[in-house]
Amino acid sequence: MNLPKKLMLLGAGELGKEFVIAAQRYGNYVIAVDRYENAPAMQVADAFEVISMLSADDLETVVNKHQPDYIIPEIEAIRTEKLAEFEQRGITVIPTAAATNYTMNRDRIRELAHTQLGVRTAKYGYAATLEELVTASEQIGFPNVVKPVMSSSGKGQSVVANQREIEAAWNYAIANSRGDSQRVIVEEFINFEIEITLLTIKQWNAPTIYCSPIGHRQERGDYQESWQPAAISDEKILASQEIAKKVTDALGGAGIFGVEFFITKDEVIFSELSPRPHDTGMVTLISQNLNEFELHLRAVLGLPIPKIELFAPSASAVILASSKSDSVSFSGIAEALAETDVDIRLFGKPSSHPYRRMGVALAKAQNVTIAREKAITAANKVSIINS
């Protein structure tokens, strides 16, 4: 492997920003592409392009202009059929064009896991109209969970307790759907003990390896805090690793996968998969010798990963906006950083709106409980000022 390489990042959010930083530490040249200017990853990339991410012509233009060695998607809403064309021309698509196509839609990855691989998932159905959602909900039973087949960070997801709530869930899911999709998935409500992300690193010429499982808590379908390690048995860790390997082997390619599971008293149930660094994995910015972005980069470039070391029990907590503004600043940073083993990452998003993730607090401690308390306390000390 000769460096540097030219990497094109499709999607330039906060996860992409950390990946760009990791890539540049090895001298690589990165082009960040997104639908709006001054996106977080653009602020640190060597070059950037603003395009419609769903325009095949726009993708063709920027790829022809920059001639990247690698195309690395960071979001779901992309013309995946164009990625297959680029791959045929000799550009490496991460993890592969086919895998990206599978994982951009919840329906396809669910069908792969459940129907083709026989992996235990929640019972589920699909709907392209409100009437179909009513029928599917009655078949699945209540409570159930409704979400778009294509969305980012859990947006558009809601728990439906009874028939009266179906229409609101439909409207919310469609309003938050990404891309062209007007289809939702409805699935049984799993009474889980904990929801985890297993960061799974698939390598070109070395065995698949895993980070210590990450527990996380969601609100409105979006992650609010995560912690590592998650308190689950060795038996369930092995079971989740086996499932993650089965699914990622079927997808192929290389890179990090965020594989989500529901852990119940008796079962490990596959939930979702993202073929890229995961938002809950931001905890690894403080918890590990190699964070998820560095692991993704090494796997993509075929660089060795001799060891993944967990330094200490750690946690992350999001810093959320509460109002809409096109001019954002922050106070309370010094107060948050006064605590030992606490760090803050501000994403540099140019505007805010209610519940938008603007940053994250990170903490480590002697146990997960204290680490979570420290991360939440630090996040709460940071105030967003709309000027």
What are 19-41's pLDDT values in tens digits? 999 999 999 999 999 999 999 99
Locate the DSSP E strands across 77-232: 92-93, 124-127, 144-148, 158-160, 184-188, 194-202, 209-210, 214-219, 222-228
51-65, 91-105, 160-174, 303-317: range with lowest mean pLDDT: 91-105
How does the average pLDDT of the chain come out, rounded? Answer: 94
Tokens of 289: 């010798």
Q: Would residue 279 show up in a list of annotated catalytic residues for this protein?
A: yes
In whole angstroms, give the CA distance from residue 80 to residue 101. Answer: 5
Q: Is 154 a catalytic residue?
A: yes
Positions of CATH 3.30.470.20 in the chain: 194-386
Residues of the chain with CATH 3.30.1490.20: 123-188
Angle at 213 between CA 371 and CA 300, to 5 degrees: 115
In the annotation, is 249 catalytic? no
Question: Taking a C-beta distance cutoff of 8 angstroms, is the pair 144, 186 a contact?
Answer: yes
pLDDT of amino acid 57: 96
| 80 belongs to the catalytic site | no
Q: What is the CATH number of domain 6-93?
A: 3.40.50.20
Nearest Cα to 377, choosing from 225, 231, 229?
225
Arithmetic mean of pLDDT, 261-276: 95
Whether residue 117 is predicted with pLDDT greater than 90 in this model: the reply is: yes
Q: Is 217 left (phi over 0), alpha (psi -120 to 50) or beta?
A: beta
The answer, yes or no, to whether residue 383 has pLDDT greater than 80, is: yes
Rounded to an integer, what distance in angstroms lies between the CA atom of residue 78 and that of residue 100?
9
Confidence label for 12 from pLDDT (cuts 50, 70 and 90): very high
Question: Which of these, 233, 211, 234, 238, lies nearest to 314 by C-alpha position?
Answer: 211
Whether residue 260 lies in the annotated active site:
yes
* pLDDT band per the 50, 70, 90 thresholds, residue 104: confident
Fold for domain 194-386? Answer: D-amino Acid Aminotransferase; Chain A, domain 1 (3.30.470)
Cα separation, 280 vs 218, whole angstroms: 10
Q: What pLDDT does residue 155 have? A: 76
Rounded to whole angstroms, how far apart are CA atoms 9 and 150?
A: 19
pLDDT of residue 151: 66
Which of 100, 212, 280, 314 is flagged as catalytic? 280
Is 58 tagged catalytic?
no
Per-residue pLDDT, averaged over 302-321, amounts to 98
Q: Residues 171, 177, 183, CA angle at the centre, nearest 5°? A: 75
**Cα–Cα dist 327/261, whole Å:** 38
CATH fold, domain 123-188, is Dna Ligase; domain 1 (3.30.1490)
Which of 125, 154, 221, 258 is labelled catalytic?
154
pLDDT digits (tens, 9 = 90+) for 350-381: 999 999 999 999 999 999 999 999 999 999 99
3-state DSSP assignment of residue 293:
helix
The residue whose two tokens read 């951009």 is 104
109 pLDDT band, cuts 50/70/90, is confident
Catalytic residue among 152, 153, 177, 197: 152
Q: What is the pLDDT of residue 180?
A: 63
Would residue 35 show up in a list of annotated catalytic residues for this protein? no
Predicted confidence at residue 106, as pLDDT, reads 65
Please report where in the chains the tokens 């779901």 appear, as a residue: 76
